[in-house]
Structure 1
Amino acid sequence: MNSFISPAALARCLPFVLFMVLLAARGQLAESPMAGLDARWVYGVSVLAVSGAMWWFWKQYEELIRAHWLTLRETVLSVAVGVVVFVLWIHLDHPWLTVGEATASFRPVDADGQLQWGLIAVRWVGAALMVPVMEELFWRSFLMRWIDNPDFQKVSPRTVSFKALALSTLAFATAHTLWLAAIVAGLAYAWLYQRTGKLWAPIVAHAVTNGVLGVWVVLTGNWVFW
């Protein structure tokens, strides 16, 4: 179906758009909090809503079925890439490598500075489990291939053009404040997708990056990375 809003395109775009809308709403609530409403819990709403949307569209994600699971070697490679991206991410944070500020910061501590483990758990689950699937379906499975052909399902990830890789990675970077770190991450995840031909590869790498980052943030208190 040669349409930007084909069922397959909608299934990959709607969860992402929903996540971004709720992210913006959380930022607005954080700046102008309503009485008795903790804007940080809106992230939990995002996790439930976006996960629900992906569950609803799950049959549209043909690249995530059993036939496209990773081999042991591909899994090890994906985990390694995820760890490398994490290391680079926390070091590419110089002021000149940062654009703007996060739409909504997330600091899961109470007024006394004590960790709020419920908020931490929700944030980590969202960042390490939900976000990698949602973002890779949008940025790599959809956008990167769509740039080459609006009928993107006909495009093999192994054959995407340099233009598609570059433009989708630059678009990915605009959604993050650490622009160079995001470019590195986007290129790494796209390379995995091209090399393996399987979307699970960048999903696993992305999940490892975000999962390890979440643990590191809690251990060090560098909440700016969340």
Structure 2
Amino acid sequence: MGKAGWFRIIPFAVFMAFIGVQQILEWSVVKGWLDLTAQQMLYLYPLKTVLVLALILFFWRQYNELHLVDFKNLTHTIASVLLGLLVFVLWINMDWGFTALGESKGFDPFLVENAASRNLLIFFRLFGAALVVPIMEELFWRSFMLRYVITADFSSVRIGTFTLTSFLICAVLFGLEHNLILAGMMAGAAYSGLLYWTKSIYQCVLAHAVTNLVLGIYVLQTGFWHFW
């Protein structure tokens, strides 16, 4: 795999590690070992966002699969935006209880009374979900994992190469990464399908970003925090 793989794994691994840390902290609070409020726990997200973004920027020169020129293909770009919107619509209609991996407490910034602190949390949540997460996840899932399942020398595989095995494995794993498993599998399959058509990681980032941004706006408007 070499260093190229780790450049794409590390930001994702750090992001997932924070989820594990949060679960440990919540468990410690239940046990009475720590005295942390739900409001204080919300600040883990800005910390996670800043750290993962710093890692992405540190490794940025290694991501030779990211080409801004890809957005000049207006057909692909418009399709990416539309796909992102479609995934959002499907996502909020696939919140079936039997498909959920545990109970999601969500991210409710209105637990914080101070307006400035609350707005800062909202900014970081939207910024992280709509920019940092799409770049991090698409580099890991669509650039690295889809190709790594084909061969350990993943960089020798052309971006957007299709095999049924890699497609199914990544769709399932992407679903398991999320609280709503089937919705996650649907999104993973959709973004991979976009990659096979456009051969562009940036188009996948765009679609993913649209989904997450619109979802964030929807959550703020409706108060359905479990989607966050």
Q: TM-score, normalised by structure 1?
A: 0.91
Corresponding residue number in structure 1 for 2:11: 15
Query: Does the residue aligned with 1:38 lie in a helix, a strand or coil?
Result: helix
Corresponding residue number in structure 2 for 1:125: 127
The residue type paired with residue 198 of structure 2 is T
Residue 25 of structure 1: how far off its partner (Å) = 1.6
- Which of 209, 212, 222 is residue 211 of structure 2 equivalent to? 209
1:184-199 aligned within 5 A: 184-199=186-201
Residue 98 of structure 1: how far off its partner (Å) = 1.6
Aligned length: 221
Corresponding residue number in structure 2 for 1:61: 63
Corresponding residue number in structure 1 for 2:92: 90
Corresponding residue number in structure 2 for 1:24: 20
For residues 199 and 92 of structure 1, what CA distance do their matches in structure 2 show? 26
Residue 91 of structure 1: how far off its partner (Å) = 0.3
1:156-213 deviation line (CA, Å, top 9, x unaligned): 2332201001001111111111111111100100011111111011110000000000
* Range with bigger deviation, 159-168 or 83-92: 159-168
For residues 145 and 70 of structure 1, what CA distance do their matches in structure 2 show? 25
Corresponding residue number in structure 1 for 2:108: 107
For residues 111 and 185 of structure 2, what CA distance do their matches in structure 1 show? 34
Residue 13 of structure 1: how far off its partner (Å) = 0.2
Corresponding residue number in structure 1 for 2:181: 179
**Which structure 2 segments of 5+ residues have no match?**
none
Query: Does the residue aligned with 1:149 lie in a helix, a strand or coil?
Result: coil
Residue 35 of structure 1: how far off its partner (Å) = 5.2
- Which of 139, 142, 150 is residue 141 of structure 2 equivalent to? 139
C-alpha contact (below 8 Å) 1:148/1:160 kept by paired residues? no
C-alpha contact (below 8 Å) 2:67/2:202 kept by paired residues? no
For residues 56 and 112 of structure 1, what CA distance do their matches in structure 2 show? 35
The residue type paired with residue 177 of structure 1 is N
Corresponding residue number in structure 1 for 2:167: 165
Residue 65 of structure 1: how far off its partner (Å) = 3.3
CA 70–171 in structure 1, closer or farther in 2 if over 3 Å, else same: farther
Corresponding residue number in structure 2 for 1:76: 78
Q: TM-score, normalised by structure 2?
A: 0.90
C-alpha contact (below 8 Å) 1:70/1:200 kept by paired residues? no
Corresponding residue number in structure 2 for 1:156: 158
C-alpha contact (below 8 Å) 1:189/1:205 kept by paired residues? yes
1:108-159 deviation line (CA, Å, top 9, x unaligned): 1136698922211111100011000000100110001100011111112332
**Which structure 1 segments of 5+ residues have no match?**
none
CA 70–192 in structure 1, closer or farther in 2 if over 3 Å, else same: farther
For residues 80 and 208 of structure 1, what CA distance do their matches in structure 2 show? 9
